[in-house]
Amino acid sequence: MRVRIRVRYNAPHMRRFDYFAPTSVEEAVSLLQERGDGARLLAGGTDLLVQMKEAGVHPSAVVSLHAVDELRGISDESDGGLRIGARTLMNDVAAHETVRGAYTALAEGAGVLGSTQTRNMATIGGNIANAAPSADTAPPLAVFDAEAEIAGPGGTRTLPVIELFSGPGSTTLETAEVITAFRLPAVPDHTGSAYQRHTPRKTMDIATVGVSVKLTLADDGSIGDAAICLGAVAPTVIRAGEAERALAGETPSDELFASAGELAQAAASPISDVRGSAEFRRYLIGVMTRRCLGIALERAQA
């Protein structure tokens, strides 16, 4: 039986809305389709509730995913990869043994988001669906070539995570579509990864720049494959393709990593805002890319 609760807050800027708590993905999709553009999904609520209280977001309906248990959990795939449900909490992602070992950059991204309290509410699906260029789990998911599982009125489909973003706060999801999980391919041997960000404050802040790197070494010690993704330096998270191609097949060195950092700088289009100037962001890209490459190399060699 469908339950609708009409909610009205006395807080400034908040208006009356209908609240729904479906128990399945199919029901959630149906509600989103029925309520149209005025409906918003609620996962952890760490973004949506702030937007409703302070940013003038006024949904006519909120569709909560809290009771959709199938969206939560981390499981191994038959091909050696990993599946992470979209409603999995950030702290659960950061603490998971396989994520910490094989997908270290993702554990690092999930582990720095907000406070402990926030990470016990925020979900990985919400972090991606909110489409902030500074999202801490987006660059790590991108360097692992993760795909999003998406359910909608027309059935299910998959899409590379990097292709989900169309602009700040905007995704390529169709009306009434829901991200249900993320699939990460198996990680080859001799692979290391890292994620770092720079913030004005040590904790409880948004990235001025975020950099994630993945390196896979060939048997002779050269770089067999490289992936670099940048956050908070363009309208969406971006792959630094030229830098990646410059690394492939080369012997790791400080000079090579410095050159890759310069190519990563050229891929970005940072802006100036209260968190940092465009020039400062561009400088950080070079420094942090070199640093992440060094960390990823050490982990690949371990």
Q: What is the CATH number of the domain that holds 17?
A: 3.30.43.10
- The CATH number linked to 219 is 3.30.390.50
The closest of 123, 65, 299, 78 to 194, measured between CA atoms, is 299
Q: What is the pLDDT of residue 47?
A: 86
pLDDT tens profile 175-233 = 999 999 999 999 999 999 999 999 988 777 899 999 999 999 999 999 999 999 999 99
pLDDT tens profile 114-146 = 999 999 999 999 999 999 999 999 999 999 999
SS3 state of residue 264: helix
Q: Which of 161, 184, 207 delimits the end of a domain?
A: 184
Domain of residue 157: give its range.
69-184
**168 and 268 housed in the same domain:** no
Q: Which of 32, 49, 64 delimits the end of a domain?
A: 64
**106 and 38 housed in the same domain:** no
**175 and 208 housed in the same domain:** no
Q: Which of 64, 80, 114 delimits the end of a domain?
A: 64
Q: What is the pLDDT of residue 51?
A: 87
Binning pLDDT at 50, 70 and 90, where does residue 1 land?
very low
Q: How many CB atoms lie within 10 A of CB 21?
A: 19
Q: Which amino acid is at 159?
A: L
- The CATH number linked to 141 is 3.30.465.10
**207 and 176 housed in the same domain:** no
Q: What is the pLDDT of residue 35?
A: 94
**76 and 174 housed in the same domain:** yes
Q: CA of 118: how far to CAs of 21, 42, 50, 68, 128, in Å?
A: 21, 15, 12, 20, 15
* Phi and psi torsions of 229, nearest 5°: -130, 140
Instruction: Work out the mean pLDDT of the chain and round it to a whole number.
Output: 94
**208 and 102 housed in the same domain:** no
- The residue whose two tokens read 């070494």 is 217
Give the separation between CA 186 and CA 57, rounded to whole angstroms: 39
**265 and 248 housed in the same domain:** yes
The closest of 95, 153, 166, 154 to 124, measured between CA atoms, is 95
Would the pTM of this model clear 0.75, i.e. be above it? yes
Which runs of E-coded beta strand occur in the chain?
Answer: 4-7, 17-20, 39-42, 61-64, 74-76, 82-85, 147-152, 155-160, 165-167, 170-171, 178-184, 191-198, 209-217, 223-231, 238-239
Q: What is the pLDDT of residue 180?
A: 98
DSSP 8-state secondary structure symbol assigned to residue 132: -
**74 and 179 housed in the same domain:** yes
* Phi and psi torsions of 64, nearest 5°: -85, 140
**118 and 198 housed in the same domain:** no
The answer to whether 142 and 105 are in contact (CB under 8 A) is no
Q: What is the pLDDT of residue 50?
A: 84
**171 and 204 housed in the same domain:** no
Q: What is the pLDDT of residue 116?
A: 92
Binning pLDDT at 50, 70 and 90, where does residue 15 land?
confident
Q: What is the pLDDT of residue 14?
A: 65
Mean pLDDT within 50-64: 87
With 0-12 / 13-18 / 19 or more C-beta atoms within 10 angstroms meaning exposed / middle / buried, residue 113 is buried
**111 and 165 housed in the same domain:** yes
SS3 state of residue 31: helix
- Our count of domains for the chain comes to 3
Mean pLDDT within 104-120: 95
